[in-house]
Structure 1
Amino acid sequence: MNRDFGTAVILAGGNRKTSREHRREMCTYIVGQLQQIFSDVLIISDTPWVYENMSVRIEEDLKPNHGPMGGIYTAMKYSITKYVYVLACDMPIINEEYISYMLGVLSMEEADACVTLNQGWVEPFNAFYSTDLFYSLEDSMAKGENSMYNFLGKQRAIIVPEETARFYDQDLAMFKDLETFEEYGQFKRGKLSDTKGKKLWL
């Protein structure tokens, strides 16, 4: 892993439809996957005690009332590398090939972020952000402007077209978030598969 890209952050907010126990279990799985790719993995949450005694750093969300922007801001604060990979705790489908693709794009083109367009909207997660955006994010939140879509439109952001993302994941399952108990149960029973047909829960 390039020394500029060694940090991955899982955002585990408290406002979820699944229970804390389920979120912790999901995070445990995601941590294991990300540790195979990144040298430093941490969890950021407004309920950090839920994730105590896990094998990664746990930090409290510094801006819990600002949505994804607040979590991404906190991720930059605690990142030990220039770029930080950000994922939500209910997005367990990790596509390593797509992560490698984004790394390659950022290595060749100087930019502050690499995000993906999905049905005309920018996906804030499964994305890379430069810590150079830290103070710009701080200013944006101070003005009450919490939209990552609008924010990225003013930055040097690489926005990957949807058709490019579908080359790596035809159904864009890597952006699927499990929001209900039913979906979580399907995931745990191995009913949801990654893009290569492998069961996610082992």
Structure 2
Amino acid sequence: MTGSASSFDVQTLIEELMAREGDFVDHPADKGGATRFGITEAVARAHGYDGPMALLPRDEAAAIYRRLYWLRPAYDQVARRAPRVAAELFDTGANMGPGVATTFLQRALTALNRNGKDYPDLEPDGRVGAATLAALDAYLALRKEEGETVLLRALEALQGERHLRLAEKRPANEAFLYGWLANRSGDSD
């Protein structure tokens, strides 16, 4: 994702994610079960959809992504500061859960704060709040545009390591590892 915060278009981000996720899928090795556009049946049901998963409307899937994976975790607030980081968090959050994605951000920011010299360490609680945004602001003020690229690399490294660990822990996940790595990393350049 490129562009300034003012030109950031979350709808395009959602459309791109749904295109990568594909239409209806019910892979036997997927513990999440049936999905459409990447939305699991459990998530669709929790948000009021009661029809067949193969018929989940595209606009309803997009609304779920906007609500649960963009607005609720406050990635819109991150996008005002670092649009590419927000796009990465959205993608990771859709795949692993926003709490995991946000924890990656908090861990990376803490590891990049030069032992607390630049801003205080963050508690990796999986929630974007005032402390996380303040740390991001301080980091970006110090490191500028190059800092956003370095932060993206840290987030992608954490995501990739988690994918590998999931495949090692549950061999059935090896069916998904190539796609996880091909479709969800390397966008920082």
Same fold (TM over 0.5): no
Larger relative contact order (Cα-Cα within 8 Å, sequence gap ≥ 6): 1
Q: When you count strand as a share of all residues, which structure comes out higher? A: 1
User: Higher helix fraction: Structure 1 or Structure 2?
Assistant: 2
